[in-house]
Structure 1
């Protein structure tokens, strides 16, 4: 995983603009009749509203001790229970199969290779109940955005510069203090291929969190998949 622990400092400010996904994942959790798991739970930005809405603890996995500490503190403040575990999503193991596993805020893009993503999808499939759902979102590469922002210092949230390595499908986010986080984008067919090799079925692909149809002009993938009832 390509995550600099220094990014945990000021993460709440960094992620404050991302709010529209919360209602989407809460809606899926309300429909789940069993355990709910969040991959890359971070500071609990989504998991806490899910736990509040469902009245059930959310199992939250993250490889960052610093982010898990923030999630614990926020959960305590909100008076909700989270089952927080320091773990790598590529090695997902659960005590009982989940009804819903979700991965918000494009966190799957921190996986650098096809092999790492395939391993994660296969572990997710093995960790779901028959009929259980897997949901995630990721950006669709937009060359217009890349051309406009590549190498340009930005001041909003926390001062940083974004650099694109097109040949590697990689974006590096470099804060002024030197903290770095990298993301590797994927195409729609690559995501669908991961579902196929993991034995999952596509339920829906939206172009946004309000259920907008995905079109050739969409810049966000919002996926919902299922483990088949019979395999």
Structure 2
């Protein structure tokens, strides 16, 4: 499982800082829809806090207490008011509906089973106001990358970051791919330049792949339909070689 990966919220933010194009896309979607916004798997609030600062009524649902605590700290620091709820995106009841529900940054891929994904979509459907939309992003699986998931530890130079206490932190990842489950099971190693602190953190991370043709069916089983799918944050149409599946959905 991947809970340990999210137990250090500040480490997560340094590893995956907010990407401006993604934040801008979700802010624009919130402005286009108007009204209230629910984010599932909201993490430390990198998307939701800017949306709330634009004047939208926002709720963030997150399973990890550590991530929620950091989200609250960041919101307080910016003077932004919104509600944080600890909960599981597979089954929740907030007693209200929303004009926009978002699931950003591959958060949906922590649900490995088809039934888990359908349960999530059904929960979203129950929380959509009339005319409401679900918008989410997941990566577009690459057969070549999955074939290279051979369990060998490799340096990810694109993920290196600077820690204020440790200096430069390098990230190595060893992945294997379970084709039957469509799940990549990885071990992430965080190390510094200091030989005495070779691996400062070692954590597992398991992420599902959702292939383009199965996605509309999963949504349909959850009472939703895919109305648009983009291949990048600028709104380019989705193609087979796109890195991301950026999906806009409505109630079926």
Q: Deviations over 1:64-116 (max 9, x none)?
A: 00000000000011110120000111112122111100000000000010010
1:181 paired residue among 197, 202, 205 = 205
In the other structure, the counterpart of 2:19 is 18
CA distance in 1, matches of 2:57, 2:75: 10
Bigger Rg over Cα: 2
CA distance in 1, matches of 2:133, 2:174: 33
Q: Does 1:210 align with 2:234?
A: yes
1:164 paired residue among 162, 168, 176 = 176
Residue-pair matches, total:
227
Q: Which has the higher strand share?
A: 2
Q: Deviations over 1:111-167 (max 9, x none)?
A: 010010000001101110121100100011113334567532335245231403142
Q: Which has the higher helix share?
A: 1
In the other structure, the counterpart of 1:69 is 69
CA distance in 2, matches of 1:6, 1:200: 32
2:245 paired residue among 209, 221, 227 = 221
Q: Deviations over 1:39-77 (max 9, x none)?
A: 111111001111112x13310000000000000000011
In the other structure, the counterpart of 2:194 is none
1:1-231 to structure 2, matched below 5 A, reads 2-4=2-4, 5-16=6-17, 18-53=19-54, 55-147=55-147, 151=152, 152-155=154-157, 156-157=160-161, 158-167=170-179, 168-176=181-189, 177-228=201-252
RMSD over aligned Cα, in angstroms?
1.9
Name which of structure 1's ranges 55-64 and 31-40 shifts more when overlaid on structure 2: 31-40
Q: Deviations over 1:17-46 (max 9, x none)?
A: 633211111011112233210011111100
Is the Cα contact below 8 Å between 1:38 and 1:47 reproduced in 2? yes
- Secondary structure (helix, strand or coil) at the match of 1:10 reads helix
Rate the CA distance shift 1:70–1:17 in 2: closer, same or farther, 3 A.
closer
Is the Cα contact below 8 Å between 1:153 and 1:162 reproduced in 2? no
CA distance in 2, matches of 1:142, 1:202: 21
- Secondary structure (helix, strand or coil) at the match of 2:90 reads helix
- Secondary structure (helix, strand or coil) at the match of 1:217 reads coil
- Secondary structure (helix, strand or coil) at the match of 1:222 reads strand
The gaps in structure 1 that reach 5 residues or longer are none
- Secondary structure (helix, strand or coil) at the match of 1:50 reads helix
CA distance in 2, matches of 1:195, 1:118: 7
Is the Cα contact below 8 Å between 2:40 and 2:103 reproduced in 1? yes
- Secondary structure (helix, strand or coil) at the match of 2:23 reads helix
